[in-house]
Amino acid sequence: MKHAVALPTDLILGYQSWKKDGFERQSSRYLELAEKGQSPSAMVISCCDSRVQATEIFGTGSGEFFLHRNVANLVPPYAPNSDFHGTSAAVEYAVKALKVQHLIVLGHSQCGGVQACYDMCSDGVSAEEVEFEFVGHWLEMLRPAFERIEAQEGNTRIAEMGQKGVLGSLENRMVFPLVAEAVAAKKLSLHGAWHDIGSGNLFAYNPDSQIFEPQ
């Protein structure tokens, strides 16, 4: 591939430091993962945002989470066809092959995807009018979250929209037959969480109170 170039030096140095320290401290764990394969207990769908690291937030290590990331941590509706479905394929593999016990959608504060959809909806702009070729259509999945938020102002309104988006993704997952069947059989549980980047606080959805509560 003629367009590929060598890794940046700082990344190579970072790898070498990890190999010497982090890997060596857990070498037996990595050997076990290599020989026995992965058996994560949970799948986490989170945003691509570089500030949100699910393994750091939950204090987990290699082999504990099956991770999938996309813009605004969205789960598309169930639509089995020949199109490319990265998120749906990841959910299917996690539930059917890995048999994870928990499916977690993790949202976060200051999400650029949520803000972009909010602006798009507020200004009455369609996906075709957005300057990004793919992002606008992808964020259409968040439009119902915009329609659900209460009349609040500023960051509170954006945060509420992000949390409604998490719930919307959970609802979309229940449309997947294999997910619904696993939940009904009590082999799988669904969870919603929202992380505040600046404070480090984590909020988890409580189905009884129907709000995201601090942990």
- Mean residue pLDDT across the chain: 94
Confidence of residue 154 (pLDDT cuts 50, 70, 90): low
Domain ranges in the chain are 1-37, 38-214
Cβ-contact 119, 80 below 8 angstroms = no
Whole-prediction pTM: 0.93
Question: How confident is the model over 111-128, as pLDDT tens digits?
Answer: 999 999 999 998 888 878
**Residue whose C-alpha is closest to residue 183's, from 152, 149, 207:** 207
Q: Rg for the chain (alpha carbons), in Å?
A: 19
Helix, strand, or coil (residue 151)? coil
Cβ-contact 148, 210 below 8 angstroms = no
123's CB contacts (< 8 A; 6+ apart) are none
In this structure, whether the domain defined by 38-214 belongs to CATH 3.40.1050.10 is answered with yes
Taking residues 20-35, what's their average pLDDT? 95
Tokens standing for 31? 């050997």
**Residue whose C-alpha is closest to residue 78's, from 206, 177, 205:** 177
Cα(145)–Cα(116) distance, rounded to whole angstroms?
13
User: What pLDDT score was predicted for residue 82?
Assistant: 76
Q: Count of CB atoms within 10 A of residue 9's CB?
A: 8
